[in-house]
Structure 1
Amino acid sequence: MDNDLETRFSLANTLGVEAGAVALDYFNRRDTLVIETKRDLHDVVSVADRNVEKLIRQRVADAFPNDGFLGEEDGLEEGTSGYTWIVDPIDGTAPFVNGMPTWCISIAVVKDEKPVIGVIYVPCLEEHYAAAAGQGATLNGKVLTLDPSRNMQNALTGIGSNNHVTPERVGEIITNVLARGGNFIRNGSGALMLAYVASGRLVGYYEPVMRAWDCMAGFCLVQEAGGRVLPYPLSGENLMAGHPVLASNASCYEDLLAVHNS
């Protein structure tokens, strides 16, 4: 690993744990938080999101002032180094504010429009997923390698939905998965379900529209564990737009691609 990537990977891992500790403190006293509604009850945000992102953003700016930074809460600051950090301070805010453990800190670094670092930290479970380009993926230090014998018929597939997708389309996706002999799960955090794909807990994950901060860390994890992802455009205005997200092991990819194309 070259030094530029190694130093950023080290910081990303440190920040995942540190930000996770701050977020967990908010989680443990969530009843005192001021909860705001964005568009509807499926898309909530709290003071915790903003403060966790500020922590990560400031630490990155201190260490790598020329790096770009895209966060869900405060948007894009362009850089000149060629590296851009893409961060969701708390992915799964609905589970977070409702007292469920399926939320995480998602930190990615992108270079040449590809994720080269992916760190997802799950504070409630103390699970630390980490990957860097060419270095493989790990969960709490254990190397992750996807099992090609797992497929849509003998494993679980993650499905995501949000208010950018009609209920009818979500129903079609679920029907298609079930018709192929599969079964599905949704836990409220797309980033975490992508980490589950990398760890083999899910055989694949599909969501018709996701933002870069929700999926870039997970994409890096899945690819470094030996999986496949649907190409996700990151150039220009694409960086801020939502796109389909599909990630799986090699055995499930064509089935999920057929679901996407249906």
Structure 2
Amino acid sequence: MVYTEALPLTPAEIDARYAAVKSVAQEAARLGMDYYLRRQSLAVMHKGDDMQDVVSIADKEIETFIRAELTKRFPEDGFLGEEGGADDLDARCIWVIDPIDGTSCFVNGLHNWCVSIGLLVAGEPLLGAIADPNHDELFHGCRGRGAFVNDTPLKVSSAQDVREGVLGVGTTHRRGKENFIPFLQGLLNEGGMFLRNGSGALMTAYVAAGRLIGYYETDLKSWDCLAGLVLLKEAGGRVNDFFRNDGLLHGNPCLVACPGVYDQVARLIGPSLDQD
């Protein structure tokens, strides 16, 4: 990936984008809730041969809405979306969008879905917003300015061992699934416990909020976590080298955790976490 050489954004440019990402994420979440309440009438399709990887008309129309709203405000910015693909990835600013993270939960009437929008500036995550309309929560943050759920500051857990909290986990039918069961066995052997809620963005936000002590996914896409990574770092958490080997476009294993358990969880995962 080659990024356009440019001066950093001015404080005013950051302010404008931070305000926009919060308002657009909330508007998109309200649109998502309208679809959710009439989900039985939505057309749902499967992606490729993976029957668990689904997309609805809501995903596509919400991403179209998000792109249109941000383009009106920032026509020079690029985009990477789960449904719409990439546009102008040489731009200084790139919006990374998941219109509905947790689509399987969405179409099956479970409350574990959200809208996730993050912003890369010169290849570095700068800000993000994760809107959860089912629980009336907006997780948001900006590098150097902190992270919040609604107006409450976020801080990761103080846990020092996996026995002291719950770890979020996830896997797919893509690469890396063979590492999942051995990891769970190791986690249980050390007295840990886990949950999987179906939304990588929400679980990353929950780590930032101290609700989970960490979150491990065997293969995660950037639109599932980029906004959450901003929150996580601002809340004092740690993350593996997710963006190596063009992780922005192709994804990678992902581990986010509070500092007290990060090394323990990374050891349980083993070399697959950061291997090429």
TM range (shorter): over 0.9
Size of the alignment, in residue pairs?
261
Instruction: Give yes or no for contact 1:87–1:213 (8 Å, CA) kept in 2.
Output: yes
Distance 2:63 2:177 in 1: 31
Instruction: Give yes or no for contact 2:222–2:247 (8 Å, CA) kept in 1.
Output: no
Partner of 1:11: 20
Structure 1 residue ranges without an equivalent (≥5): none
Q: CA deviation at 1:80?
A: 5.4
Distance 1:147 1:203 in 2: 6
Output one character per residue of 1:146-184: Cα deviation in whole Å (capped at 9) or x when no partner: 232354111000111111146542211211211222101
- The 1:260–1:113 alpha-carbon spacing in structure 2 relative to 1, beyond 3 Å, is farther
Distance 1:167 1:66 in 2: 39
Distance 1:20 1:220 in 2: 20
Code of the residue aligned with 1:15 in structure 2: it is: V
Counterpart check, 1:130 vs 2:140: yes
Partner of 1:82: 92
Distance 2:223 2:176 in 1: 22
Counterpart check, 1:96 vs 2:73: no
Partner of 1:153: 163
Partner of 1:180: 190
Instruction: Give yes or no for contact 1:104–1:192 (8 Å, CA) kept in 2.
Output: yes
Counterpart check, 1:106 vs 2:102: no
Partner of 1:142: 152
Structure 2 residue ranges without an equivalent (≥5): 1-9, 272-276
Instruction: Give yes or no for contact 2:238–2:256 (8 Å, CA) kept in 1.
Output: yes
Code of the residue aligned with 2:251 in structure 1: it is: G
Partner of 1:30: 39
Fraction of identical pairs, as percent: 37
- The TM-score with structure 2 as length reference comes to 0.90
Distance 2:90 2:175 in 1: 35
Instruction: Give yes or no for contact 1:232–1:243 (8 Å, CA) kept in 2.
Output: yes
- The 1:240–1:51 alpha-carbon spacing in structure 2 relative to 1, beyond 3 Å, is same
Distance 2:87 2:11 in 1: 25
Instruction: Give yes or no for contact 2:159–2:261 (8 Å, CA) kept in 1.
Output: no
Distance 1:67 1:77 in 2: 9
Matches within 5 A, 1:145-224: 145-149=155-159, 151-165=161-175, 167-224=177-234
**SS, match of residue 41 in structure 1:** strand
Partner of 1:40: 50
Partner of 2:127: 117
**SS, match of residue 252 in structure 1:** helix
Relative to structure 2, which stretch is displaced further, 72-81 or 95-104? 72-81
Distance 1:67 1:18 in 2: 20
Give 4+ residue runs of structure 1 displaced > 3 Å after superposition: 165-168
**SS, match of residue 164 in structure 2:** coil
